[in-house]
Amino acid sequence: MRNPVITVRDLVKKYGDFTAVNGISFEVGEGEIFGLLGPNGAGKTTTLEIIETLREKTSGSVTVHGFDLDRHPQEIKKIIGVQLQAAGYYPNLHLKQLIALFAGLYNREVDALALLDTVNLRDKARNRFKELSGGQKQRFSIATTLINEPKVIFLDEPTTGLDPQARRNLWDLIRQVRDRGATVVLTTHYMDEAEALCERVAIVDSGQIIAIDTP
């Protein structure tokens, strides 16, 4: 494996008596597309949200590009991009306005049309978010993760609900994101998606990794 940029050791997340993540450990190499594969409720999203600094862990350790989650969460936030299962965008703003909004949050100057080019949405620049198809919404969601030029991008079930052509278009986009130099971590419950995209896959069930290897 290439130089690890994410290291997770003995990660645990409990909600009262329920253990959602039960001692998960893995590493992700630089420039890798790494997948967490498993059924709904397996603990994939919880694991991602802890690494993304969105959810507190119960125990264990996480480092991202050398930054410890407990000591440097703000530094981690600066170098990651996050595409959530359900992204909440202002539905009546058009895409250029939404990019300007996100760029302002990151305090960055962004060429909105050039960014939309990367996800093949330039022709939708003046369309409102609510006017996009499901696949276009997912592609735009990934575009917003690129605004801060992240070193690591997290995609949580990015193709759920998409038709076959839209899924494959999104697969191509994910490969392009990796080819631009980012490390990609994604969750999925589609075995064909894990096989097509991921260089390594961790199979997660009941909060534990039961296998980890190439597809």
String of DSSP letters for the chain: -PPEEEEEEEEEEEETTEEEEEEEEEEEETT-EEEEE--TTSSHHHHHHHHTTSS--SEEEEEETTEETTT-HHHHHHHEEEE-SS----TTSBHHHHHHHHHHHHT----HHHHHHHTT-GGGTTSBGGGS-HHHHHHHHHHHHTTT--SEEEEESTTTT--HHHHHHHHHHHHHHHHTT-EEEEEES-HHHHHHH-SEEEEEETTEEEEEE--
**The pLDDT of residue 1:** 66
Along the chain (215 residues), what's the average pLDDT of each consecutive run of 10 residues?
A: 91 95 96 94 94 96 97 94 75 91 87 90 92 88 88 91 87 92 94 95 96 96
**The pLDDT of residue 32:** 96
**The pLDDT of residue 2:** 73
**The pLDDT of residue 52:** 95
pTM of the model: 0.90
